[in-house]
Chains A and B, each alone.
Chain A
Amino acid sequence: MHLKTSGDPVLILFFLIKAVMNIFHEIRKSDIILASALILGCIISLAYFSVSSRELSPASTVVITKDGKILENCSIHDDKTVDTGSNTIVIKGGEVYMEHADCKNQICVREGKISHAGQSIVCMPNRVVVEIKGGDEAYDAITR
């Protein structure tokens, strides 16, 4: 009998709905509070981060670090290619992208081009960070 009924799509749907309803019975109020508190906190901080990065607005400098040490600090309008030994970073036409990385996962290469202040590309395995900074930092560097 079980074999016969298991092929019926209406019955399958019925059991599926019943199983899902059973799950929702077991979820407690505290679970929902925890989930919504976490998501709300995240949305607020996300909004804060996006506002604070907009204040920096125009992208001006590109900072490339490896292991926390600064390898390159130049204007975003310089067209150049930086080789850190493990990664190749290309700065061209106001955009920055990771051209090559010798790591396995290639996440940083797939991340594509960045061009706004506050954006960054990170290569975790090689600990290379490419950041775009905004504001007057470039002018400061020149006038100093």
Chain B
Amino acid sequence: MMPSQDEFKNPGRSSGRVAVCALLTTLAMLLSYIDSLIPILPQIPGIKLGLANIVILTALYMLKGRYALLINILRIVLTGLLFSGAVYMLYSLFGALFSFLVMYILKKSGLFSVVGVSLAGGAAHNAGQLFAAILLVSNVNLIRYLPVLVISGVITGILTGMICLILLKRLKPACL
């Protein structure tokens, strides 16, 4: 990522951005660790609250899209190395990239509020993870899990989207 000329002229602002990105990455890592500690439905694997998505969404709305993407990838690689292992890192990377793509497009379209973007992102995250699993396990029958995973993604996405809405209102005056 090349810093723009504006950032060269204003080093204070770009270093501030580095600090904000680092802070948000740590926050996202912490939230995804807390996420793994809360089992919602232990019978069905892959259902999580998706708390880290709050941070990603906030970054997407408050900063530029590329910073949100950077924070997302950093979070997954770091939590993958620290807690969950390489195979799970691959699954969540698939899910996160797919959900980021969906959220970015929906945000750009301007049709939806934060809650709509968040619920689509949650559904896309679970669907992306399942497609990664189908590719890795090479068993198409896993697609049966798709409806359950998408519904859970929508529900948790609505919850995180509401939290994000409150957050964005409070953060606006502070301006990252």
Contact residues of A between 51 and 103, Cβ < 8 Å to B: 53, 65, 67-68
Query: In this assembly, does B38 line the interface, its C-beta being within 8 Å of a C-beta of chain A?
Result: no
Partner of A110, one of B42, B112, B138, B148: B42
Interface residues, chain B, CB within 8 Å of chain A? 42-43, 45, 84-85, 87-88, 91, 111-116, 119-120, 123, 133, 136-139, 141-142, 144, 146-148, 150-151, 154, 158, 162, 165-166, 169
A111: chain B residues within 8 A (beta carbon) = 43, 45
B88: chain A residues within 8 A (beta carbon) = 105, 124-125
In the assembled complex, the CB of B89 is this many whole angstroms from the nearest CB of chain A, namely 11
Closest residue of A by beta carbon distance from B117 = A31
A42: chain B residues within 8 A (beta carbon) = 146-148, 150-151, 154
Partner of A31, one of B87, B116, B144: B116
Interface residues, chain A, CB within 8 Å of chain B? 19, 22-23, 26-28, 30-31, 34-35, 38-39, 41-43, 45-46, 49, 53, 65, 67-68, 104-105, 107-108, 110-112, 118, 120, 122, 124-125, 127, 129, 131
A22: chain B residues within 8 A (beta carbon) = 169
CA distance A104 to B17 in the complex (A): 36
- 14 A-B pairs besides A31-B115, A41-B147, A43-B147 with CB distance below 8 A are A19-B166, A26-B165, A31-B113, A35-B116, A35-B154, A38-B120, A38-B150, A39-B151, A67-B137, A107-B45, A122-B45, A124-B137, A125-B87, A127-B136
CA distance A104 to B144 in the complex (A): 24
Say yes or no: A30-B116 contact (C-beta < 8 A), given A19-B166, A45-B147, A107-B45.
yes
Task: Summarize A's interface: helix, strand, loop or mixed.
Answer: helix
A38: chain B residues within 8 A (beta carbon) = 119-120, 123, 150-151, 154
Say yes or no: A124-B91 contact (C-beta < 8 A), given A39-B154, A67-B138, A68-B138.
yes
